[in-house]
Chains A and B, each alone.
Chain A
Amino acid sequence: MAKIVVDVMLKPEILDPQGQAVGAALPRLGFTFAKSVRQGKRFEIEVDGDPTPAQLAEVSKAAQTLLANPVIETFVVKVEK
C-alpha cells in the first residue's frame, strides 16, 4: 500500500546540536566518512488506496500547520510505494 511521507528538517542556518552529537559519535566507532550530520523527522501517513492530489494538498497544509514549524524547519511531502 502506498503511503504519504513527510520529511522535516531544521533549516540549514538553525543550529542542530543533536546532529552534531551524532556526527561526533561516528568517528569514535570507526566511521570516518561523515563531514557533518543533521537530524530530522520522518512522518509516515497511511491512507486508503493510492493518495490523491487533494490528499497530498491536505497533508502539505497539515505539515505547514503542525508537523513542521516553518520558523525553523522545512518539509517535503512525497508518496512511497
Chain B
Amino acid sequence: MKVGVVTFPGSLDDRDAARAIRAVGAEAIALWHGDSELHNVDAVILPGGFSYGDYLRCGAISRFAPVMTSIIERANTGMPVLGICNGFQILCESHLLPGALTRNHALHFLCTDQRLRIENTTTAWTSNFTVGQEIVIPLKNGEGSFQCDDATLAQLEDEGRVVLRYVGENPNGSRNLIAGITNARGNVVGLMPHPEHAIDPLTGPSADGLPFFTSVLTALVGK
C-alpha cells in the first residue's frame, strides 16, 4: 500500500506524516509540488506547514501547483486524500472541500493538545474510530477558524459531513466547533488538528492519531 505525502515549499509536517504512514505498515512515497506524477500512490496526504509562506491566503498558491492538478483529478474519482492543517486549507482553496479557514478569532497562533470528538466514521480516514469517541491530539495554527455561509453549514450538518469537532471552549472561532469535514463521497477529509504528531506517547500527547492512518489502509484493502 503506497501513500503519497506532498512536499510544498514551506511544508513542515511532511516527515511526521510519512512516519505515521510507516508506523501502520504502509509505504510512504514522497511527492513533489512541482511534479504532476503521483507514482502510483493509493492515497495522498497534504501535510501541515506554511506552503508558499502563506502568501496571499493560506493554501491559495499551493492549490495551483502541478501536483495538485493530478490530486484533484484523482480525488474526484475516489482516491483517499487527507489534508492536515495547511493541507486542509489547500483542500478548501481547491474546492475539494467547502468553506475556508480564516484567522483565529483571538488572533493568536495556537499550539495546544486539543480534545476532539469524532462525529463521522464512514469516511476513508475515520472508519477505525467509533462515533462519539474523544481523542487528544495537537492543534497548532494561526488560521484555523472554519467559516462558510449558512446554506453550506446546514448542508454539512444535514449530510453528516462534520468529521470531528472541538470539545470544550471554541479554540479559534470555527462555526459549530468544526475541526474537520469530508466531501460527499467520504474520500476527501480535511482537519486542522494534527493526528500525525500523535502516533506514539513517547513523542506526542497520545497515540490517538493512529486510527486516521489505519482507517485508510482498511478502506484501500476493502476495495
Residues of A within 8 A of B (CB): 10, 13-15, 17-18, 21, 66-67, 69, 71-72
Ordered by A's residue number, 17 sampled pairs between the chains whose C-beta atoms are within 8 Å are: A10-B102, A14-B147, A15-B147, A17-B105, A17-B106, A17-B107, A17-B173, A66-B56, A66-B60, A66-B61, A66-B64, A67-B56, A69-B60, A69-B100, A71-B98, A71-B99, A71-B100
Assess whether B154 is interfacial by the CB under 8 Å rule.
Answer: no
CB of A72 within 8 A of CB of B100, answer: yes
Given the complex, which residues of B lie within 8 Å of A66, measured CB to CB? 56, 60-61, 64
CB of B145 within 8 A of CB of A15, answer: yes
How big is the B interface, by class? Answer: 20 to 34
CB of A13 within 8 A of CB of B149, answer: yes
Across the two chains, which residue of chain B brings its CB closest to A14?
A: B147
- CA–CA, A72 and B92, complex, Å: 11
Residues of B within 8 A of A (CB): 56-57, 60-61, 64, 92-93, 98-100, 102-107, 145, 147-149, 173
CB of A15 within 8 A of CB of B100, answer: no
Across the two chains, which residue of chain A brings its CB closest to B107?
A: A17
Across the two chains, which residue of chain A brings its CB closest to B63?
A: A66
- CA–CA, A10 and B57, complex, Å: 12
- CA–CA, A18 and B105, complex, Å: 9
- CA–CA, A15 and B148, complex, Å: 11
Give min CB distance, B92 to chain A, whole Å: 7
Given the complex, which residues of A lie within 8 Å of B64, measured CB to CB? 66
Given the complex, which residues of A lie within 8 Å of B56, measured CB to CB? 66-67
Across the two chains, which residue of chain A brings its CB closest to B104?
A: A17
- CA–CA, A41 and B147, complex, Å: 19
Task: Using known A-B contacts A13-B149, A66-B60, determine if residue A72 contacts B98 with beta carbons closer than 8 Å.
Answer: no
Across the two chains, which residue of chain A brings its CB closest to B101?
A: A72
Given the complex, which residues of A lie within 8 Å of B92, measured CB to CB? 71
- CA–CA, A17 and B99, complex, Å: 18
Top 4 A-B pairs, shortest CB-CB distance: A72-B100, A71-B100, A17-B107, A17-B103
Given the complex, which residues of B lie within 8 Å of A69, measured CB to CB? 57, 60, 93, 100
Most chain A C-beta atoms within 10 Å of own C-beta, residue among B56, B105, B173: B56
Most chain B C-beta atoms within 10 Å of own C-beta, residue among A15, A21, A66, A69: A69
CB of A15 within 8 A of CB of B149, answer: no
CB of B107 within 8 A of CB of A15, answer: no
CB of A72 within 8 A of CB of B102, answer: yes
CB of A15 within 8 A of CB of B173, answer: yes
Apart from A14-B147, A15-B102, A66-B60, what are 19 other A-B pairs with CB-CB below 8 Å?
A14-B102, A15-B105, A15-B145, A15-B147, A15-B173, A17-B103, A17-B105, A17-B106, A21-B107, A66-B56, A66-B61, A66-B64, A69-B57, A69-B93, A69-B100, A71-B92, A71-B98, A71-B99, A72-B100
